[in-house]
Structure formats: structure tokens, C-alpha cells
Amino acid sequence: MTIEALNKSDLIERISIKNPHLAEPLVEEAVKIMIDQMIASLSSDDRIEIRGFGSFALHHREPRIGRNPKTGKSVEVAAKAVPHFKPGKALRDAVNETINK
């Protein structure tokens, strides 16, 4: 089984094919606006919820002392916020349904 990644240009192409009444540049702009809005929301520490798909939120990590695996020396790791995706029930069910066929 090979795993194929779906990148932004593939997504735009697939949406354009399924919606021939929409010009591809219009679809591209819509996808860009949606991604930009998601980035802006997460940057403001807002949560994003898309019913039936899932939610995005930031997980905040405290600063800590880590180790450089090559040298073994201790290094300070700064605090950071990491985007986290939690799939919704409909998405989980759809994925499990295709796997269990």
C-alpha cells in the first residue's frame, strides 16, 4: 500500500474538477483565503472548529532543558505553541469505514 500526500495544488485541482463552474484561479484564491484565516486564528490563540471534520487548537509547551543527541550537552529549549488537530467523529468514522472494508 502506497501513501500519497495531497498538497495544496492537488486540492485546488480536485476542487476545480468537481466544480467545473468555478474557475481554477477563483478556487485557488478561496483555498488561500481559508488557509490564511486559519493561520490568523491560530496565531491569535483562537480555536478552529469545523463540524464533521475536526478542530484545531494550540498546545502550549513550557520551556525545558533538552539534550543535543549528537554531543549529549544540555540545551535550553524555548517555550512554544504547537498546532494540534483533533479529528471529529464523522471524519474518524469515515476513515475507519474505508480501512475496515
CA distance 39 to 17: 26
pLDDT score at 100: 74
pLDDT score at 1: 54
Give the residue from 51, 39, 41 showing the smallest Cα distance to 91: 51
pLDDT score at 99: 80
Q: What is the pTM of this model?
A: 0.78
Task: Decide: helix, strand or coil at residue 60.
Answer: strand
CA distance 53 to 45: 20
CA dihedral sign, ordered 38, 44, 45, 46: negative
pLDDT score at 101: 67
pLDDT score at 4: 83
67 in Cβ contact with 74 (< 8 Å): yes
The DSSP bridge partners found for residue 74 are: 67
Q: Which residues of the chain have pLDDT under 50?
A: none
Q: Domains of the chain (ranges plus CATH)?
A: 7-44 (no CATH), 49-100 (4.10.520.10)
pLDDT score at 2: 65
